[in-house]
Chains A and B, each alone.
Chain A
Amino acid sequence: MTEGSLARGFFRLARGVILTGCKSRLCVLALPLLIAWPAAAAEPQPPVPLKSGIEFVSADIRAMQADDFANPGMLWVTRGEMLWREPAGRDGKSCAGCHGDAKTSMQGVAARYPLIDAGGARLIDVEGRIEQCRERRQQAAPFKRESPELLALSAYVAQQSRGMPVNVVIDWQNRHNFEAGRALYYRRMGQMNVSCAQCHQENWGRKLGPETLSQGHGVAYPAYRLEWQSMGSLHRRFRSCLSGVRAEMPPQGAAEFLDLELYMAWRANGLPIETPGVRR
């Protein structure tokens, strides 16, 4: 048999299957299913039901977060409120000088972050935006990532969105960051060779040692972690997880972290912001 006749034979067979197969209605049903199945497998969905990390901690920590006075994160928020009004830089401009009262101007802002910076066409988080404002508008030296001042200001800004649902939109501008973040979320990392998803997507609610695995949403950050005895940013929390799986830890504010933050914000879409949260 020559190659040509083999191909003709195969073509005849295939045509036969299509013609006979499509006499039944099953074919009509099966075709869209076959198209939809691989797409659904590649597009992981957020966990159902969505549960904030606060639902996985003990009652005393829940009470601590709920009481605005007992919540130690409020110390940073109070400091942030002072910094908001404090003039800084060459021209002595304060945040309040441009943005006015944060209670109205910053309401709901943190729920939309991280977003694409209009000027730079790159992803930027709340901390990054504060640093940018400080450098460009106030002409002052930027605070460093994880400095008490930046934690205080970002906590104060994020607190203005407390109770508002995360609302991150994925569009053509941030699509590639989103895809990169998702790839990172599902990538096995470190000596432990585990991905974010293996704990927080596939096994949330189960135990890892004494701890209950949460769904791993970032809605409480910057949050007060009892383990740290201090306020910390979401990127510090990322580094904690990466250190746990013995993986390489990018610095706070790294592009990988911003992509991951975007994917996680999309995953938490609809969950209310809790800043300043309290966690173990």
Chain B
Amino acid sequence: MVARVHVPASVKRGAVFEVRINIQHPMETGFRYDNSGRPIPKNVINSLVARYNGVEIFRAELGSGIAANPYVQFYAIAEASGEIEFSWVDDAGQRGSERASVAVAG
């Protein structure tokens, strides 16, 4: 699983900045059938958590209505330089994580 996290290279203290993540995942809905007619089991990323220097700042529960390769975007307030770390788990129990560092100036 490949994921890409994007944060601005540097932000001013107290400023609002954009955090974006894109995860490669089929987000199998559970409503599809394979070529031999067997149902394809549901497998979606069911929880996505973002931590900013260890403090949880964002949590999302994704379902089968989300398209493949989910893209999530939200805003955070720049408090201190550090890392934003994402972690997620899918229905098959596979875990993934990706991080990006943010430099806070001023």
Stretch in contact with the other chain, from A10-18, A72-80, A159-167, A210-218: A72-80
Find B22's partner among A75, A226, A229, A230 (CB 8 Å cutoff). Answer: A75
Cβ A70 vs Cβ B2 within 8 A: no
Chain B residues with CB under 8 A of A78: 2, 4
How many chain B residues touch the partner (CB < 8 A)? 14
Cβ B68 vs Cβ A69 within 8 A: no
Find A229's partner among B6, B23, B68 (CB 8 Å cutoff). Answer: B68
Cβ B22 vs Cβ A72 within 8 A: yes
A74 to B26, CA, bound (A): 15
B1-26 CB contact bits vs A (8 Å, 1 = yes)?
01110100000000000001011101
Cβ B2 vs Cβ A69 within 8 A: no
Task: List the A residue with the shortest CB-CB distance to B28.
Answer: A229
Find B4's partner among A69, A82, A226, A230 (CB 8 Å cutoff). Answer: A69
Cβ B71 vs Cβ A72 within 8 A: yes
Cβ A75 vs Cβ B2 within 8 A: yes
Chain A residues with CB under 8 A of B24: 72, 75-76, 79
Cβ B26 vs Cβ A229 within 8 A: yes
A69 to B22, CA, bound (A): 8
Q: Tell me the number of A-to-B contacts counted with CB atoms below 8 Å.
A: 36
Chain B residues with CB under 8 A of A82: 2
Cβ B20 vs Cβ A69 within 8 A: yes
Cβ A69 vs Cβ B6 within 8 A: yes
A213-249 CB contacts (< 8 Å) to partner B: 226, 229-230
Chain B residues with CB under 8 A of A70: 20, 22, 71
Chain A residues with CB under 8 A of B2: 75-76, 78-79, 82
A186 to B24, CA, bound (A): 38
Cβ A230 vs Cβ B71 within 8 A: no
Nearest chain A CB to B10 CB, angstrom units: 17
Chain B residues with CB under 8 A of A76: 2, 24
Task: List the A residue with the shortest CB-CB distance to B24.
Answer: A75
Nearest chain A CB to B72 CB, angstrom units: 11
A46-77 CB contacts (< 8 Å) to partner B: 69-70, 72, 74-76
Chain B residues with CB under 8 A of A229: 26-27, 67-69
Nearest chain A CB to B75 CB, angstrom units: 15
Task: List the B residue with the shortest CB-CB distance to A224.
Answer: B69
A78 to B2, CA, bound (A): 8
Nearest chain B CB to A234 CB, angstrom units: 20
A229 to B26, CA, bound (A): 8
Chain A residues with CB under 8 A of B26: 229-230
Cβ A230 vs Cβ B68 within 8 A: yes
A57 to B27, CA, bound (A): 25
Nearest chain A CB to B63 CB, angstrom units: 16
Cβ A74 vs Cβ B4 within 8 A: yes
Chain B residues with CB under 8 A of A75: 2-4, 22-24, 69
A147 to B2, CA, bound (A): 15
A76 to B69, CA, bound (A): 11
Cβ A72 vs Cβ B20 within 8 A: no
Nearest chain A CB to B15 CB, angstrom units: 19
Which residues from chain B sit less than 8 Å from chain A, CB to CB?
Answer: 2-4, 6, 20, 22-24, 26-27, 67-69, 71
Q: Taking A69-B6, A70-B20, A230-B26 as given, write out 8 further A-B residue pairs in contact, using a Cβ cutoff of 8 Å, ordered by the A residue number.
A: A69-B4, A69-B20, A69-B22, A70-B22, A72-B22, A76-B2, A79-B24, A229-B67
